[in-house]
Amino acid sequence: MSEIKIKDSILKSKYKDNSFARVEFYNNLKSYDAIQVHFKNDDSNYIIHMISGAKYFIDDIDNCYKEKKKAEKDLKNLFKKSTFEDWGTSPHPVDKTGKTIVSTTMFTFMDSGSGAIQCYDWSKEMKYNDHLKIKLMTNEYFNWIQNKAY
């Protein structure tokens, strides 16, 4: 992908700390409805610190939870030496009403980095699609999203 295309695809930030930039792709995808990538704003090499795939479950959060369980099983078989932890359900920090909830299972790789399997149950006010998200991330990105982004 050209640098011009990357720069043109950067989304307006909703984060209070702008250390990372976000790009999303929706066209010509087979397994997912959207792909999201984060890289550092000051990185001219655009090294990916987080990549995720999202599959929409419009007004169908129950099937999202079913797919989440299936993905957990598949990833546990794929990443046998990783630790998996159910983080339960928590409000999404972007939704100030507290109505949007995210159900998360985290997995941590032995050497570095982590991943998450999440169902996003967005409130009607937020006007986003409910979706399953599977993501891989560096430790640096994980620290930022947990402690600085919101």
Three-state secondary structure call for residue 81: coil
Task: For the chain, 150 residues long, give each residue's pLDDT as a single digit of tens.
Answer: 788 888 888 988 888 899 999 999 998 899 999 999 999 999 999 999 999 999 999 989 999 999 999 999 999 999 999 999 999 999 998 898 999 999 999 999 988 899 999 999 999 889 899 999 999 999 999 999 989 988
pTM above 0.85, yes or no: yes
Torsion angle of the four alpha carbons 134, 61, 93, 99, in this order, in degrees rounded to the nearest 10: 180
Q: Give the length of the chain.
A: 150
pLDDT of residue 110: 85
Q: What are the sequence ranges of the domains in the chain?
A: 3-147
DSSP characters over 7-36 = HHHBPPP--SS-SEEEEEE-SS-SS-SEEE
